[in-house]
A and B are shown apart, each in its own frame.
Chain A
Amino acid sequence: MSGKPQHPLDKYLITKRLPHIWCPGCGIGVALAAILRAVDRRIREGSLKFEDLVMVTGIGCTARAAMYMAFDSAHTIHGRAIAFASGVKLANPRLEVLVLGGDGDIAGIGGNHLLHAARRNMDMTVFMITNMVYAMTGGQVAPTTPTGMYTTTTPRGNPETPVNVIKLVAYQGANYVARASTTHPMLIERFTYKALGKEGFRFIEIISPCPEIFGRHIGFRGPIELYEELKRKSRFKPSPSLEESDLDWENGWVLGEFVDREEPGYLRRIGRV
Chain B
Amino acid sequence: MSSAKPTSQEVGGATAPTPRFRVVVIAERCKECGLCVHVCPKHVLEIGSKANSRGFRYPVPARQEECVGCRMCEYNCPDFAIFVVPAGGGG
Min CB–CB distance A79 → chain B (angstroms): 25
The reply to whether B35 and A26 form a contact with Cβ atoms under 8 Å apart is no
In the assembled complex, the Cα of A27 lies from the Cα of B54 at a distance in Å of 20
The reply to whether B75 and A30 form a contact with Cβ atoms under 8 Å apart is yes
B66: CB under 8 A from chain A?
no
Q: Interface residues of B: mostly helix, strand, loop or mixed?
A: loop
The reply to whether B79 and A29 form a contact with Cβ atoms under 8 Å apart is yes
From residue 1 to 58 of chain A, which have CB atoms closer than 8 A to chain B?
Answer: 4-10, 13, 18-20, 22-30, 33-34
From residue 210 to 253 of chain A, which have CB atoms closer than 8 A to chain B?
Answer: 211, 222-224, 227
In the assembled complex, the Cα of A22 lies from the Cα of B77 at a distance in Å of 12
The reply to whether A18 and B34 form a contact with Cβ atoms under 8 Å apart is no
Contact residues in A for B75 (Cβ distance below 8 Å): 30, 33-34, 185-186
The reply to whether A26 and B26 form a contact with Cβ atoms under 8 Å apart is no
> Interface readout for B24-47 with A: 1 if CB under 8 Å, 0 if not?
111011111111001000000000
The reply to whether A10 and B80 form a contact with Cβ atoms under 8 Å apart is yes
Residues of chain A touching chain B, judged by Cβ–Cβ distance below 8 Å, are 4-10, 13, 18-20, 22-30, 33-34, 182, 185-186, 211, 222-224, 227
In the assembled complex, the Cα of A52 lies from the Cα of B34 at a distance in Å of 36
Name the contact of B33 in the complex, choosing from A6, A13, A24 (C-beta under 8 A). Answer: A24
The reply to whether B78 and A26 form a contact with Cβ atoms under 8 Å apart is yes
Q: Tell whether A23 pairs with B34 under 8 Å between CB atoms, given A5-B24, A29-B80, A34-B75.
A: no
The reply to whether A30 and B76 form a contact with Cβ atoms under 8 Å apart is yes
Q: Tell whether A224 pairs with B31 under 8 Å between CB atoms, given A7-B83, A33-B75.
A: no
The reply to whether A5 and B78 form a contact with Cβ atoms under 8 Å apart is no
Min CB–CB distance A152 → chain B (angstroms): 24
Contact residues in B for A8 (Cβ distance below 8 Å): 83
B17: CB under 8 A from chain A?
no
Contact residues in B for A186 (Cβ distance below 8 Å): 75
Contact residues in A for B76 (Cβ distance below 8 Å): 30, 182, 185
In the assembled complex, the Cα of A18 lies from the Cα of B52 at a distance in Å of 14
Name the contact of B26 in the complex, choosing from A5, A22, A34, A223 (C-beta under 8 A). Answer: A5
Q: Tell whether A24 pairs with B31 under 8 Å between CB atoms, given A8-B83, A9-B80, A29-B79.
A: yes
The reply to whether A25 and B35 form a contact with Cβ atoms under 8 Å apart is yes
In the assembled complex, the Cα of A6 lies from the Cα of B38 at a distance in Å of 23
The reply to whether A30 and B77 form a contact with Cβ atoms under 8 Å apart is yes
Contact residues in A for B80 (Cβ distance below 8 Å): 7, 9-10, 13, 18, 29, 33
Contact residues in B for A227 (Cβ distance below 8 Å): 35, 38
In the assembled complex, the Cα of A186 lies from the Cα of B79 at a distance in Å of 17
The reply to whether A7 and B26 form a contact with Cβ atoms under 8 Å apart is yes
In the assembled complex, the Cα of A186 lies from the Cα of B32 at a distance in Å of 22
B91: CB under 8 A from chain A?
yes
Contact residues in B for A28 (Cβ distance below 8 Å): 78
